[in-house]
Amino acid sequence: MASSLLDFLSTFGIVPKDQKVFEMAFRHPSVNGDREGQGDYERLEFLGDSLIGLAVAHLLYLAFPKKDQGELSVLKAHFVRTKAEASYARELHLDEHIVLGSSFQANQIPDNVLEDVFESFLGAYLIDQGLDKVYAFVLDFMKDKIKEGEGPAKKEENPKSALQEAFQAEFRESVTYRILKESGPSHQKTFVAAVYFEGEELGRGEGRSKKEAETLAAAEALMKMAGR
């Protein structure tokens, strides 16, 4: 393990028992195409994915006592979706230690890879240091984000994509949109749209085009999920 990675782990108070598990946590599968037998982060990612999901669910349950199971599930999805976890990886500087194969450019790491490495880092932390330590770390890292509603409460540049990704991440299913009303002359129409999941209306918006109305409906749904 490179000394820079050892120094990096020390910033989290981690003295590795098994250096190789952390090396693996930062090794993208593409490396196997260049150097056989190295191993990669995919199994550790599986562990970390379950861990972050549990921790976020735990924190949301405590933070939002009036929300029901469905509302908590949708809110949870915002904190564990690709864009969110990629931002966590950058915040923790995990991106600076990822080992990629020759097919990648190091300065252009996709969000899905950053998401994977965030999860694999947690998986390695769990295997090497134990559940109590890594769970305490995740709770501490996430508590203020959830308290402040950082996930869905942030202004989204593309509310429709954000909403869709949230539902795909949690339920593996999509939301649907419906135009409820269309009014005004042909050159100046107004549309009212609603967004639904399994027949339940999540949000509603009004705009000068169907796209604008749907975007505003998605934005309202995101704000509702954030408890705003």
∠ Cα 60 78 87 (to 5°): 110
Task: Select which of 116, 119, 170, 220 is catalytic.
Answer: 119
Q: What is the DSSP letter of 114?
A: H
Enter the tokens of residue 147: 């308290």
Q: What gap in Å lies between CA 6 and CA 23, rounded to an integer?
A: 10
Q: What distance lies between CA 110 and its chain's CA centroid? A: 13
Which amino acid is it at 147? K
C-alpha angle 96-163-66 in degrees, rounded to nearest 5: 100
Query: Is residue 148 flagged as an active site residue?
Result: no
CA distances in angstroms from 45 to 22, 42, 76, 119, 199, listed in the order given: 12, 5, 18, 5, 34
- C-alpha 69: how far from its chain's center? 19
SS3 state of residue 211: helix
Kindly name the residue from 23, 40, 45, 49 that is annotated as catalytic: 49
Of 53, 71, 65, 42, the closest CA to residue 152 belongs to 71
User: Is 119 a catalytic site residue?
Assistant: yes
Q: Which residues contact 198 (CB under 8 A, 6 or more apart)?
A: 173
Q: Which residues contact 163 (CB under 8 A, 6 or more apart)?
A: 175, 195, 202, 218, 221, 222
Catalytic positions: 49, 119
